[in-house]
Amino acid sequence: MDKKPHFVRREFPPREASSLSLALLLAAVLLLNALLYLYLNNFYVSSGRAETDPSLCSFGYFRLGAAKNCSPWLSCEAINREVRKLKCVGEGAVKKVFLSEWKENKVVLSQLTNSELKEDFLHGLKMLKALQSKHVVRLLGYCEQQFTILTEYHPLGSLRGLNETLHIPRYKGMNTWHRRLMLAMDYVSVIQYLHSSPLGTLVMCDSNDLDKVLSQYLLTSDFHVLVNDLDALPLVNRSAGKLVKCGHRELQGEFVAPEQRWPYGEEVPFEDDLMPPYDEKTDIWKIPDVSNFFLGHVEGSDIVRLHLFDIHAACKKKDPAERPSAQEVLDTYRKVLTLLIREAAMPGTREML
């Protein structure tokens, strides 16, 4: 009598099944890391230098809007002939700012208002020309004789209006811890660029309070940060023993770095000649306060603050030499962003491993 074939269902032993699950999980984590790397690398590079921007032209030229070709910076004659003022949109101690139009493009025309500050105005123009990059507002033309500068227009304005912008229905989807952290990274990237600029180590001196800092930067339509005002940007040259002082008046308040405050007490009247100079680490001291503004009070922002606690504590060291560089702060921000995106994408991964 023939025996019927006997089929036995194979089952993986518990240990083998567990190993297979772990291997699949590790493969998923590696794939996720690769995707995260590609995603983040699309925005930032580890060197901290400005990436090649296809919209940037060679020195002395610009490209605006959908234009395919680069145009030379507009001269005095071209500005007077082709640029039409529309309305005044701002005025500071140095210049008045007009929303204007050039060849059907909205542009910004800045003009000196106080002749006593013409050196500041011309210094800002010099910096604007020399520092053109993805971190700096685009220069379109200038006229030194008439103290006029023409730059690209960004309808979302300065960073002072960030929270209001994020409450507009069109932009509410941007109001997340992830996007806000990326704006903070943009800000630190600008500081890092200024500290390692083609001209040397530059200090952002127009930064005596939070509102003043925010007014110096623009928010682009694709939610990036550009520095806009470069009138007060002195150079630190350690090899030559050259440090800086941000203005000639006494600075007060917790926002400015300790070394920027009068060190001799209230009993000694402030005297500019006796005020010790300082270096770029004053910018580092202010990073936590500016980043705190960027992070706001959205869901997840407190978790970001917790991860940034140590680097921000280091930024607030009383001794400037003990504070991290802007590059070290930026590297930490990138690591935190990568970590938090990974954890958000695969919650519970750490426990499973």
Task: Choose one of 152, 167, 183: the last residue of a domain.
Answer: 152
Of residues 286 and 37, the one with the higher pLDDT is: 286
Residues 24-45: tens digit of each pLDDT: 766 665 666 556 555 555 544 4
Residues 91-146: tens digit of each pLDDT: 888 899 999 999 999 999 999 998 889 999 999 999 999 999 999 999 999 999 99
pLDDT tier, 53 (very low <50, low <70, confident <90, very high otherwise): low
Do 215 and 126 fall within a single domain? no
Do 145 and 162 fall within a single domain? no
pLDDT above 90 coverage of the chain, percent: 75
Residue 90: inside a domain: yes
Task: Choose one of 102, 118, 152: the last residue of a domain.
Answer: 152
Do 249 and 306 fall within a single domain? yes
Domain total of the chain: 2
Residue 50: inside a domain: no
Domain of 330 in residue numbering reads as 157-345
Of residues 333 and 47, the one with the higher pLDDT is: 333
Do 248 and 169 fall within a single domain? yes
Residue 39 tokens read as: 């995603």
Q: For position 44, what pLDDT does the model report?
A: 47
Residue 286 tokens read as: 């202010």
Task: Choose one of 137, 152, 167: the last residue of a domain.
Answer: 152
Sign of CA dihedral 278, 279, 280, 284: negative
Do 112 and 192 fall within a single domain? no
Residues 216-271: tens digit of each pLDDT: 999 999 999 999 999 999 999 988 989 999 999 999 999 999 999 999 999 999 99
Structural Rg of the chain based on CA atoms = 26
Do 118 and 241 fall within a single domain? no
pLDDT of 198 > 80? The answer is yes
Report which DSSP code applies to 141.
E
pLDDT of 343 > 70? The answer is yes
Do 125 and 243 fall within a single domain? no
Residue 20 falls in which region: left (phi positive, over 0), alpha (psi -120 to 50) or beta: alpha
d(CA 150, CA 73): 9
Count the neighbouring beta carbons within 10 Å of the beta carbon of residue 270. 14
Of residues 181 and 239, the one with the higher pLDDT is: 181
Do 162 and 148 fall within a single domain? no
Query: 């060190």: which residue's tokens?
Result: 263
Do 193 and 311 fall within a single domain? yes
The pLDDT of 337-343, averaged and rounded, is 92
d(CA 239, CA 237): 6
Do 141 and 208 fall within a single domain? no
The pLDDT of 44-65, averaged and rounded, is 67
Do 235 and 129 fall within a single domain? no
pLDDT tier, 345 (very low <50, low <70, confident <90, very high otherwise): confident
